Amino acid sequence: MTTSAEQAYNELIATHREIAILGSCESLLGWDERTYMPRGGAEGRSRQVALLSGLVHERFTDKKIGELLSVVEESDLVRDTESDAAANVREIRREYDKQVKLPKELVEEMARITSLAQGVWAEAREKSDFSLFEPKLKEVIDLKKRQAEAYGYDTEPYDALIDDYEPYATVTTISEVFAKLRAELVPLVRAIVESGKRPNMSIIENDFPVNLQEEFGKEAAAAIGFDFNIGRLDVTTHPFCTTIGPGDVRITTRFNPKHLGQALFGIMHEAGHGIYEQGLLDENYGTPLGEALSLGIHESQSRMWENLVGRSKPFWENFYPKAQSKFPSLKGVAFDDFFFAINNVEPSFIRVEADEVTYNLHILLRFEIERDLFREKIKPEDLPSAWNEKFKEFFGITPKNDAEGCLQDIHWSAGLFGYFATYALGNLYASQFFAKAENAIPDLKDNFRRGNFSALKKWLNENIHVYGKKYTAEKLCERVTGKPLSHEPMMDYLKAKFGELYGI
């Protein structure tokens, strides 16, 4: 390797790290805005955030970065495509090209239209009137099509949009896995409904004092490995996880005093995201190797701790006695009745309230609709009817109105097309990784029964977290599990667990 290439690489990394530090200031402002900022601070805050994000964009799209990338790309430094340097360069190039390809005018227009569209969407949802939202939705879709053209794509425009959230994934590969999943999931949901069995939901929809829920949630998060020395938990309307920098990963939740599960599983979910962020290597901070791989892989970590661990029998064999001594309303409730209640499956209209099984159908429906919108098989004005027809087909029920149908999510008004798929990809990756972990750690479930989750956390740290963006999601999945992503591990898991619960 030549010295100049090495110098260029070092300069590239140093610049990238500085940009990451600037970005982390923006993250801290964002966290504060959603947790403790008084309402009056909104205007000043938006100025701070606009200035910082402008600086980040300006520095990242500086021609100098392109020049440094070119020097390194032509050198021996990246000849071994498996090397850390090659991965960093590949990912910085990817980000850089995307940002410079977007005309400034398009970025500004997108920010302006989506900000207006979100206001209109909120009103349309409130009135349950899609026709109010339709003109703005068309504008957003047109801008997203322009964005896809600016990025460029191999097969279809929707590929370019998915790539923003799940790098290197394509409509074709996702469609294949989702179609197989759908073919098995729809009959499973039907069989569950037809079993006629229902848990007694009043067990978890009862009085659960918020202070006790907070203690219990923190205990669960700490037990599974969220480190409170380098993290914290606060309260927000919409739970999230954010990383301020090495040693500072923050999660949030919301409490419902009449429901045990919402905050508890929400905390375990966000703790799962947090454990991933805490598992990234400090020495890679500010480089792609120190960043989470994709939204799908991120979601695989949160869903694993929330569902595969948090809603499992071994977990509760350890935690249920603790829950009973903490919450008086659980005294005298049999373990099996409690376990059934936290694993209730029921077709319902609202995605964010859906259970572990039907949740994926909500995503498959949105993915198919988005795909067909960008293939121009569905026109924006046909969205409500397309939604309701698919809903009936998937769930066997039809929304009464658009508020509980196609207007329920904020994503499309915000221009987040391609985002939904990552939720189901996360569930699929979670099951596939977990099945592998069970093989690799023979006494995994006995560990859970003893309240010990460190073997699983360590396995995730070593096999997934430490690599950051070194591999693509597809490659990581192959490396970790020996196979490409498949619907089978999740279906095996769901059929076994819910087959037993529902006697089907």
Site residues for Zn ion per CB under 5 A? 302
Q: Measure the CA–CA gap between 462 and 467, rounded to whole angstroms.
A: 8
- One-letter amino acid at 218 equals K
Extract the tokens encoding 298: 């991120």
Catalytic residue among 91, 270, 356, 368: 270
Rounded to 10 degrees, what is the CA torsion of 351, 354, 356, 358? -70
Please compute, for residue 249, the number of CA atoms within 13 A of its CA located in the half-sphere on the CB side.
23
Min dist CB 426 to Zn ion, Å, is 7
The smaller minimum CB distance to Zn ion, of residues 75 and 302, is found at 302
Min dist CB 272 to Zn ion, Å, is 8
Min dist CB 82 to Zn ion, Å, is 30
Q: Is 365 strand, coil or helix?
A: helix
Min dist CB 47 to Zn ion, Å, is 30
The smaller minimum CB distance to Zn ion, of residues 302 and 344, is found at 302
The smaller minimum CB distance to Zn ion, of residues 277 and 402, is found at 277
Q: Measure the CA–CA gap between 161 and 100, rounded to whole angstroms.
A: 16
The smaller minimum CB distance to Zn ion, of residues 305 and 493, is found at 305
Q: Which residue is nearest to Zn ion (CB)?
A: 302
Min dist CB 299 to Zn ion, Å, is 5
Extract the tokens encoding 379: 């026109």
Q: Measure the CA–CA gap between 367 and 178, rounded to whole angstroms.
A: 9
Q: Could you tell me how far CA 387 lies from the centroid of its own chain? A: 23
Min dist CB 345 to Zn ion, Å, is 20
Min dist CB 433 to Zn ion, Å, is 15
Q: Measure the CA–CA gap between 382 and 385, rounded to whole angstroms.
A: 6
Q: Is the dihedral of CA 77, 83, 84, 86 positive or negative?
A: positive
Nearest to 201 by CA among 254, 255, 260: 260
The smaller minimum CB distance to Zn ion, of residues 242 and 302, is found at 302
Q: Measure the CA–CA gap between 11 and 5, rounded to whole angstroms.
A: 10
Q: Which residues pair with 248 in a beta bridge?
A: 245
Residues whose CB is less than 8 angstroms from the CB of residue 122 and which lie 6 or more positions away in sequence, other chains included? none
The smaller minimum CB distance to Zn ion, of residues 262 and 302, is found at 302
Q: Measure the CA–CA gap between 384 and 277, rounded to whole angstroms.
A: 38
Q: Is 241 strand, coil or helix?
A: strand
Question: To which residue do tokens 């949901």 refer?
Answer: 189
The smaller minimum CB distance to Zn ion, of residues 132 and 297, is found at 297
Concerning whether 270 is annotated as a catalytic residue, the answer is yes
Question: To which residue do tokens 């805490």 refer?
Answer: 278
**Catalytic positions, please?**
270
